[in-house]
Amino acid sequence: MPNYRYLGNSGLKISEITYGNWLTHGSQVENDVATACVRAALDAGITSFDTADVYANTKAEQVLGDALKGERRESLEIFTKVYWPTGPAGPNDSGLSRKHIMESINGSLTRLGTDYVDLYQAHRFDTETPLEETMQAFADVVRQGKALYIGVSEWTADQIRQGHALAKQLGFQLISSQPQYSMLWRVIEDEVVPASEELGVSQIVWSPMAQGVLSGKYLPGQPVPEGSRATDPTGARMIGRFMTDEVLTAVQKLKPVADELELTMAQLSVAWVLQNDNVAAALVGASRPEQVAENVKAAGVVIPVHLMKQIDDALGDVVVR
Ligand code: NDP
C-alpha cells in the first residue's frame, strides 16, 4: 500500500504513488484497459489521480471520470491542469488568462463528473498574461469551490516564488509543483527543490520511470517490445530523448542495484524519486493493470546511501541536471 504524504504546507494528504493518464487514456490504451488500470490503482490503495484537459484532447479526463464513477468522492484526490488548447484554438484558448482558466475549469469538472477537483494546476507558466491576473483567477476558482488547492507545473524557482507570494496576498496557498524528475532527469535539484522547501511547496513528479525506459525493458540495439510506449506514434516522439544506446546501456547497469533490494528496475525507479523528502508523490503511468500492481510496491522502500551512490556511478554522464 502506498503511504500518504502531505502536499506542501497544507492539510491535504495524497498517495505517494499517484496514477497519471497521459498518453494512455483516450489514446494508447482502450477504455476497458484504462478502467482496469484505474481499478488496479484503487485496489492497490492509490487514492490520487492526475490528468489534464489537454491529454488526448479532453478524452483522458472523460475516461478517468467514467472509470471513477461510483467511487466515494471524499476518498479520492483528483488533479487536473489548465494551459494548452484542447481543440480548435481561438485567441483565448490557451495560456493562463482569467477567461481561459474560468472556462477550462468548467469543462474539466463536467468531463471528470465531479463538482470540484482537489488540485488545479497551471500546466506551464504564461509569459504573456500578468501573473496577478492568473493568481486572482485561481483565487476565484478556489472561492467558488471548484478547486480546493492550486499547484503549478514546470515553473522555475523564481516563478514559483512569485506565484506563491501573490497567492498568499490573495488568501490562498500555492502548494505544489509538478516537474519532470527521475534518475535520468534531475533538473529540479539545484533551484526548484530548495526554493520549494523554503516556501512549503511539494513536488509531484512526472515520468519517474523516464516513460518506461528505467524499467530496463528497452535494450540497446534491440527492437522495442511489442505494445510499449515506443511503438505508439505519439509515445515514440515523447520517449525519444531517452532512447539512445548510451542511455539504454547505462540503464542496464542499474539491474544489480534492483536485485540487491529485491526490486524490479521499474520499482527501483519509482522508489528513487520518493527518497527525496520534497517529493510528495511519484506520478506513475501504466498501460496495463499488472504494471500498477508492480509499481505500487515501490512505496516505503528505503534505498541505502551506498546504493544511491552506485546508481549515480552507473548512470554517470547520461543524467541531465
Ligand atoms: P512513467 O515514467 O511512469 O511511464 C509510464 C509508462 O511506462 C507506462 O505508461 C508504461 O508504458 C511504462 N511502464 C509503467 N510501469 C511499467 C513496468 N512496471 N514495467 C515496464 N514498463 C512500465 O510516467 P509517464 O510518462 O506516464 O507520466 C506519468 C504521469 O505524469 C502522466 O500520466 C501525467 O499525469 C504526468 N505528466 C505530467 C506532465 C506535465 O507536464 N505536468 C508531462 C508528462 C506527464 P508502456 O507499457 O506503454 O511502455
- Residue identifier of the C-alpha nearest atom 13 of ligand 1: 212
- Residue identifier of the C-alpha nearest atom 27 of ligand 1: 207
Has residue 255 been placed in a domain?
A: no
Has residue 227 been placed in a domain?
A: no
Q: How far is the CA of 164 from the centre of ligand 1 (A)?
A: 28
Q: Which atom of ligand 1 is nearest to the CA of 210?
A: 2
Pocket of ligand 1 (CB under 6 A): 20-22, 24, 50, 153-154, 178, 206-212, 215, 217, 228-229, 266, 283-287, 291, 294-295
Has residue 238 been placed in a domain?
A: no
Q: How far is the CA of 210 from the centre of ligand 1 (A)?
A: 7
pLDDT digits (tens, 9 = 90+) for 3-51: 999 999 999 999 999 999 999 999 999 999 999 999 999 999 999 999 9
Q: How far is the CA of 255 from the centre of ligand 1 (A)?
A: 20
- Residue identifier of the C-alpha nearest atom 4 of ligand 1: 211
Domain of 33, CATH number, reads 3.20.20.100
pLDDT of residue 167: 98
For residues 79-102, average pLDDT: 95
**Is a pLDDT exceeding 90 seen at residue 89?**
no
pLDDT digits (tens, 9 = 90+) for 133-175: 999 999 999 999 999 999 999 999 999 999 999 999 999 999 9
Are 153 and 109 in contact by the 8 Å Cβ rule? The answer is no
**Is a pLDDT exceeding 90 seen at residue 1?**
no
Q: Which atom of ligand 1 is nearest to the CA of 228?
A: 48
Q: How far is the CA of 165 from the centre of ligand 1 (A)?
A: 32
Has 55 been annotated as catalytic? yes
- Residue identifier of the C-alpha nearest atom 8 of ligand 1: 286
Has residue 86 been placed in a domain?
A: yes
Going by their DSSP bridges, the two strands 147-153 and 13-15 should be labelled as unpaired
Q: How far is the CA of 171 from the centre of ligand 1 (A)?
A: 34
- Residue identifier of the C-alpha nearest atom 3 of ligand 1: 284
pLDDT of residue 87: 81
Q: How far is the CA of 100 from the centre of ligand 1 (A)?
A: 27
Domain that holds residue 201: 4-212+264-302
Count of the separate structural domains present in the chain? 1
Has residue 218 been placed in a domain?
A: no
ipTM over 0.90: yes
pLDDT digits (tens, 9 = 90+) for 220-276: 999 999 999 999 999 999 999 999 999 999 999 999 999 999 999 999 999 999 999
pLDDT of residue 300: 95
Has residue 194 been placed in a domain?
A: yes
Has residue 309 been placed in a domain?
A: no
Q: Out of 55, 83, 149, 218, which one is annotated catalytic?
A: 55
- Residue identifier of the C-alpha nearest atom 9 of ligand 1: 286
Q: Which atom of ligand 1 is nearest to the CA of 212?
A: 7
Has residue 223 been placed in a domain?
A: no
